[in-house]
Chain A
Amino acid sequence: MSHGFDLDAAPAPLPRLAGNSALAMLARSLNWVNLQVLRLSMVALVLTSAVLTYSVATRYFFKTATDWQDEASVFLLVGAIFMCTAYVQSMRGHVGIEALATLLPASVNRVRATVVDIVSTLFCSFFAWKSWALFHEAWAEGQTTSSSFAPPLWIPYSLMAVGMSLLALQLLLQSVMHVAGGDGEGDAK
């Protein structure tokens, strides 16, 4: 756990995609979206703390229980986490075991990194697809949580679906960059 301390706090490397303006534009657009999502997630994080603190304060001072705070907090945090997955991936922040990468020759390592990105893209695309299906079902059937507050479940499911779709897109972009030879991550890892 490294919270509060980033060993590598450098920003994501800008892709070298001078030869492909469409990819470069997609990368810039995705970076812009990721940054906006990050800002919204920051607000969600602080808001969750405020909601939980409000709950403690009202219970202590006014002896009134709030029935919505736990679920509001879960929705805010689950949303913030799934929505930020693409941003974290853009920074290569999802940790893996890199022991093999240091032992392989650069050319083999490049193939390894490409395959890893492609398989990750496939998994996240599958997860995104199933998340949209879950959202659709919750929306169509009017599903809610089982509490007395009973908020609609399409809210967190939609955030999960959008977040995982962004992640799949980010991974797809990184895979294409590997294949196009514009990322250089395979050697750097």
Chain B
Amino acid sequence: MSELSIGLSYGAATLLVMFSGMPIAFALGTVAVTFMYFFMPASSLDTVTQNVYEEMASITLLSIPLFIMKGAAIGKSPAGQDLYSAIHAWLHKVPGGLGIANVFACALFAAMAGSSPATCSAIGSAGIPEMRKRGYSPGFAAGIIAAGGTLGILLPPSIVMILYAVAAEQSLGRLFLAGIGPGLLLVALFAGYAVVRARQEYKQALVIYQQGGPKSAYLIEEHFTLAQKVEMLPRVLPFVILLIGVMVALYGGLATPSETAGLGGLMALGLIAVVYGIWRPKDVAPILTSTLKESTMLMLIIGMSLLYSYVMSHLHISQGAAQWIVAMQLSKWVLLAVILLMVIVLGFFLPPVSIILMTAPIILPPLKAAGFDLIWFGVVMTIVMEMGLIHPPVGLNIFVIKNVAPDIPLKDVIWGVMPFVGLMFGAVFLLCLFPGIVTGLPNLVMGVK
């Protein structure tokens, strides 16, 4: 069989097995082993397990379970609600301040926990009822939290970026730093939109009231004394110190990324024990169980994705596909648009981990040949995958919001997140125009590549 036929069969078999509903890890493994049996030397089947072990036994990849543990520890404590309450108290006088407080709380929590759904759940369970109590429309309130939660896969420590660093052979420290500028850009865009939308809703409420209608909660002034504001800080500060401490350990040269993950995980467990009294085995067991459940599921997908990519490379499928893309001689930006569109479509069905590991060998060589910085592309790709978290058909964050606020109709949640999807597209456009937003900070801290 020609390389093209083998490549097409490989793609078709993958689609067939994936859409059968077989777990992704087993599906990738089954396709890889079947093609090894038919198209590779018989001895290669003896090395399957060694290949998977060697790919998984990377200390960088194995930092993922530890970062997940850190996120689960913080996510299962009331830290999110405390963080939200404190920011709200300090920002309530700013116009649209409640919306901004929610965006800031999402960003800070995402940076501490590194998880999008955990952020939506933790901040949303406090933020959505509060925003609705203050007159915000349900869809708008849900949209702010769903979009704010997506920052979890962009701001460090991001599991998506760990995988990209491994797949693209890029520096993880540099990638983590590269996510900060775009993360802040998205925070600014989300917060700006929240202010504009809140002011619109405030004006509408005012007009209705002036015309003799009911008085919306928007029109009632809220007040916090300085003592109340200060009272909220002690429970929040330790977590902010954890966030800063982890960054200092990583970039101050004190610890490698994997050591930072271990240190952060242990510190998070220590903090919830001290601040919230969560230390008994029966309290900690659910945190460790959910960590192991997700880590096992993810790491098995990662291991099998790497085996899948190995077979794809050995059969020259990835090289052939990459050469084919290069031979099309697309202009630089058309190439980028096509690849990002492919990432969006794949995001309808696959989790980001599989998208990165399965497509990296095919898409990265043409992008590199076209002159794109792979650190920059990693960040842009992550933002595009963030969109997949808040738009149908998958939209994991949408379902988390439905869980937190079940009385908001799904239609309202979906319409509420759409402006934020538009803002993310805008952010990607800005990053294309001003790549320095991505590369500036890593170049400043770690030197120009």
Contact B115 A3, beta carbon cutoff 8 Å: yes
CA distance A130 to B25 in the complex (A): 17
Contact B24 A134, beta carbon cutoff 8 Å: no
Give how many A residues have a beta carbon under 8 Å from the other chain's beta carbons: 61
Q: How far is the CB of A6 from chain B (nearest CB, A)?
A: 6
Q: How far is the CB of A89 from chain B (nearest CB, A)?
A: 8
Q: How far is the CB of A13 from chain B (nearest CB, A)?
A: 16
| B295: chain A residues within 8 A (beta carbon) | 3, 80-81, 84
Whether a CB of chain A sits under 8 angstroms from the CB of B23 is yes
Contact A45 B65, beta carbon cutoff 8 Å: yes
Whether a CB of chain B sits under 8 angstroms from the CB of A173 is no
Of the residues A78, A101, A127, contact of B62 by C-beta under 8 Å: A78
With A45-B291, A134-B49 known as contacts, the answer to whether A81 contacts B299 (CB < 8 A) is yes
With A4-B117, A94-B26, A97-B350 known as contacts, the answer to whether A74 contacts B297 (CB < 8 A) is no
Whether a CB of chain A sits under 8 angstroms from the CB of B261 is yes
Contact B115 A5, beta carbon cutoff 8 Å: yes
Most buried by A among B19, B53, B249, B262: B262
Contact A97 B113, beta carbon cutoff 8 Å: no
With A56-B249, A56-B254, A116-B21 known as contacts, the answer to whether A74 contacts B57 (CB < 8 A) is yes
| A7: chain B residues within 8 A (beta carbon) | 117, 399-400, 403
Whether a CB of chain A sits under 8 angstroms from the CB of B59 is yes
Q: How far is the CB of A80 from chain B (nearest CB, A)?
A: 7
Whether a CB of chain B sits under 8 angstroms from the CB of A62 is no
Whether a CB of chain A sits under 8 angstroms from the CB of B289 is yes
Mask of A84-113 contacts with B, CB within 8 angstroms, 1/0: 110110010111111111000000000011
Contact B20 A73, beta carbon cutoff 8 Å: no
**5 pairs, A vs B, C-beta closer than 8 Å:** A42-B285, A45-B292, A74-B62, A77-B65, A130-B46
> 20 extra interchain contacts, Cβ-Cβ under 8 A, other than A95-B23, A120-B22?
A1-B153, A1-B294, A3-B71, A4-B74, A42-B289, A45-B65, A46-B288, A49-B265, A49-B269, A51-B262, A52-B66, A84-B296, A85-B296, A93-B293, A94-B24, A96-B18, A100-B21, A123-B30, A123-B33, A157-B53
Interface on A for B, CB 8 Å cutoff? 1-7, 9, 38, 41-42, 45-46, 48-53, 55-56, 60, 70, 73-74, 77-78, 80-81, 84-85, 87-88, 91, 93-101, 112-113, 115-116, 119-120, 123-124, 126-127, 130-131, 133-134, 156-157, 160, 189
